[in-house]
Structure 1
């Protein structure tokens, strides 16, 4: 019987002991950036608008600066966009995850042979 072994890692930022930013929120920001809308981003992720809005509000409140700016409705309708801070945190987090995953891949074979 063949056994499937996998080395996994989780990475997120805590503020005062509570999860603040990680892969899920990074994915949400990426969808908002592409879609220009919190509701479209939520739909793409299979989550409720309420949950997506709550996550955006939490990031905007707890971050040093807001990550997402909302555009009021009108002729063109409303929408959302990442601020420069939002774009910067998204890029930095994705680069960090890339580096961590590369390091993980480098050591994975060696460690899994021992398990």
Structure 2
């Protein structure tokens, strides 16, 4: 009987031993870019605002430059936007993901052995 066997991988970037960037933070940043809001991005992910804010704070603190710039509420309402640094990291992370996926695809011989 033929079985459906897959190789899966997740990867993160650590800074000073702390998880800095990975799939969840990338998804959060993309949500902020799309909605202009940490609250809306967190809600779309089913994540609490507190957790989302902690992730943004870690990115802004551990990164070489800020990743998210926030504006406080008022008549126009608050909001958030990504910096160029954040956009560049998202692109680089996606490129790394693509390269790692290619390596996994090339190693399909393992699957044949299972």
Q: Tell me if both proteins adopt one fold, taking TM over 0.5 as the criterion.
A: yes
Shift in Å at residue 96 of structure 1?
1.1
After TM superposition, the structure 1 stretch with the greater mean CA deviation from structure 2, 39-48 or 8-17, is: 8-17
Q: Within 5 Å, which residues of 2 pair with 1:100-111?
A: 100-108=100-108, 110-111=109-110
Alpha-carbon distance between aligned partners in 2 of 1:107 and 1:77, rounded to the nearest angstrom: 51
Shift in Å at residue 63 of structure 1?
0.4
Q: Secondary structure at the match of 2:80?
A: strand
Match of 2:63 in 1: 63
Match of 2:45 in 1: 45
Root mean square deviation of aligned Cα = 1.3
Shift in Å at residue 51 of structure 1?
0.3
- For structure 2, the 5+ residue unaligned runs are none
Shift in Å at residue 94 of structure 1?
1.1
TM-score w.r.t. the length of structure 2 is 0.92
Q: Deviations over 1:84-108 (max 9, x none)?
A: 1111111111111122112212322
Shift in Å at residue 9 of structure 1?
1.2
Alpha-carbon distance between aligned partners in 1 of 2:19 and 2:96, rounded to the nearest angstrom: 17
Q: Within 5 Å, which residues of 2 pair with 1:5-84?
A: 5-84=5-84
The number of residues matched between the two structures is 114
- For structure 1, the 5+ residue unaligned runs are none
Q: Secondary structure at the match of 1:5?
A: coil
Shift in Å at residue 79 of structure 1?
0.4
